[in-house]
Amino acid sequence: MEESQPTSAKPRWTIRKSIEIPPKLQCDVCLDVFSDPVITPCGHNFCRICLKQCWDNSQIYSCPYCKKTFSKRPELKINTTLRYLTLIFKEQFSLRRSEVLCDICDESKLKALKSCLTCQMSYCETHLNTHEKFHIKKHKLLDPVENIKLYICEKHERPLELFCRDDQTCVCVFCTDGDHKNHNTVPLEEESKEKKTQLMKTQPDIQQMIQERIKKIQDIKHSAELRKRSREQEKAASFEIFSDLIRSIERCQTELLEMMEQEQKSEEKQDEDLIKDLEQEITELKLRDSELLEKITHSEDHLNIIQIYSSFPYIPPDMKNWSEISMKTHVSVETLRRALTQLQETLNEKLIQTELIEKQQYAVDVTLDPDTAHPNLILSEDRKQVKHGDIKHKLPDNPERFDPCANVLGKEGFTSGRFYFEVQVNDKTNWVLGVARESIDRKGTIRMSPLNGFWTVALWNEKDYKACTDWSVSLCLKVKPQKVGVFVDYEEGLVCFYDVGSRSHIYSYTAQTFTEKLFPLFSPCPNDKGKNSAPMIISPVHYNK
């Protein structure tokens, strides 16, 4: 297809210096924002004028980007989507064209007021008056444009006055007799009006999308601020914890050195005492040996010598058997082992304390659900306490209510995230505490286990602590918990129990799979003739940062 030579350069766009042109909206030839972008058969985009100039000045038709060569000059099609995006970009970032000057003025060119599509010229006020005298009704005028060729059909050199809806491109009247014959074409004004109406209809949606994204930015910034604040608190807490651990290690080291020093002094004193005893015995033996030697050396009386032997034992009876006394030749590591064991216990305690403090951040407000409470249970007015009353109240036997097991669930359920709550159990001889899934059996005999949807720990007979697993695990606790903390991480499948008073770990269910809503579960257990009358109390969490 023959294409006319451009009469002017591609219009330049002035952009605020702070705005950088996105690479996908930048022509690889002129490195400016696309102007009427066309697409090559190899899929690359260029300004129509830039590509036209490249091919007009060469006998080889190749892509300026990938250098792919075409056997004949390709027919260029406007990339309407890319053109729309560049127009939005230009409008969004206040792009402006350079001033359009009159094409008729010879020397000092004046600013053009109008451009004529028919003449393909721009006119200042003086030359526009002259133009209108001859062509006032025949020629189509528009606001001045720098490159009027963009408004002219390259093939027929006629104004682009129509829009082909089939090919979604602007055409001239001659195009309707050629490539766009029998196509659905409408005047540009009509299509422009329709497109404008459609764009106006999208405004509320766009504004909503803008507001949604602004809100999302605010949410991200808020989350980032909270995360930063939390991270700073975590760093401060970590510094304090490690400082405390260092002090504990230094204190342990000092105590160990003092203990080893005392042991060394004790061993040295023992060695000195042994040496003193040995020296004393040596002195006695020497005297005895000298006395005996004096008696037998100068005596010729055989009978006397035999009598001396019988009455004067060579070795005194009060002498120690030193062969039975062994001496330590190395230092025992038992002291060091005990110290390290104690240090390890201290470190474990510190870690558990830190862990509990971290869990307490997820404290939630738990209240009891009276619709699930066994008829024998008595709930406080604020729904924070529950105890066994021995008397069965007349209550609706709804499906949610436990019977005959003396249980009650929390009112609030959880399907995601983390949550933590604390319960006082002091003065009780029996209790069960934990969480349960929504679909658990509530009627008849219930065996509490993860398999049946329960994750709990319990106290039986005042001293037997159990984790109610599928096979029941006995728990060895150093002290009797007065308040128990329960932590759940839904996504991690984790349920942990803590002794809040001693800040120690009781038991954890790990690697569980939760697919239903989880509810806190409480069982104060039977009253046992008043021995177990104390209530279970949901306590406010005192989070020590």
DSSP string for 262-286: HHHHHHHHHHHHHHHHHHHHHHHHH
What is the per-residue pLDDT for 252? 82
Cα–Cα distance, 240 to 246 (Å, whole number)? 10
Residue type, 363: A
Q: How far apart are CA 201 and CA 527, in angstroms?
A: 71
pLDDT class of 202 with cuts at 50, 70, 90 = confident
pLDDT in tens, 209-249: 878 888 888 889 988 998 898 788 878 878 887 888 788 88
Measure the CA–CA gap between 140 and 30, rounded to whole angstroms: 31
Neighbour count for residue 33 (Cβ, 10 Å): 22
Q: Using the CB atoms, write b or e for 472-507: b if 16+ within 10 Å.
A: eeeeeeeeebebbbbbbbbeeebbbbbbbebbbbbb
Average pLDDT over residues 273-302: 80
Q: Is the pLDDT of residue 434 over 60?
A: yes
Lowest mean pLDDT: which of 139-143, 326-330, 373-377, 498-502? 326-330
Is residue 9 predicted with pLDDT exceeding 50?
no
Higher pLDDT, 78 or 442: 442
Q: How far is Cα 99 from Cα 510, in angstroms, rounded to an integer?
A: 73
Q: What phi-psi label fits residue 478: left (phi over 0), alpha (psi between -120 and 50 degrees) or beta?
A: alpha
The whole-number pLDDT of residue 57 equals: 80
Model pLDDT for residues 305-323, shown as the tens digit of each residue: 677 666 665 566 677 778 7
Confidence of residue 136 (pLDDT cuts 50, 70, 90): low
Assigned token pair, 431: 């209790």
144: CB partners within 8 A, 6+ apart: 100, 111, 112, 113, 114, 115, 122
Nearest of 143, 172, 139 to residue 155 by alpha carbon: 172
pLDDT at 471 over 70: yes
Question: How many angstroms separate the CA atoms of 225 and 210, rounded?
Answer: 22
Write b or e for each residue in 204-225: b if 16 or more Cβ atoms lie within 10 A of its Cβ, otherwise e: eeeeeeeeeeeeeeeeeeeeee
Give the SS3 label for residue 475.
strand
What predicted TM-score, i.e. pTM, was given to this entire model? 0.51
Structural contact between residues 434 and 484, judged by C-beta atoms closer than 8 angstroms: no
State the first-to-last Cα distance of the chain, in angstroms, to the nearest integer: 78
pLDDT tens sequence across 385-432: 999 998 888 999 999 999 999 999 999 999 999 999 999 999 999 999
The better pLDDT of the pair 509, 75 is held by 509
- Give percent of the chain above pLDDT 70: 90
Query: Which is higher by pLDDT, 494 or 290?
Result: 494
Least confident of 162-166, 258-262, 320-324, 379-383: 320-324
Tell me which residue of 113, 138, 136, 137 sits closest to 123, measured CA to CA. 113
If you average pLDDT over each of 127-131, 212-216, 374-378, which comes out highest?
374-378
Distance CA 485, CA 504 (A): 10
Which is more confidently placed, 182 or 21? 182
Write down the pLDDT at residue 234.
Answer: 79
Residue 158 to residue 152: CA distance in whole angstroms:
5
pLDDT (tens digit, 9 = 90+) per residue, 313-357?
556 667 777 877 777 666 667 777 877 787 777 777 777 888 888
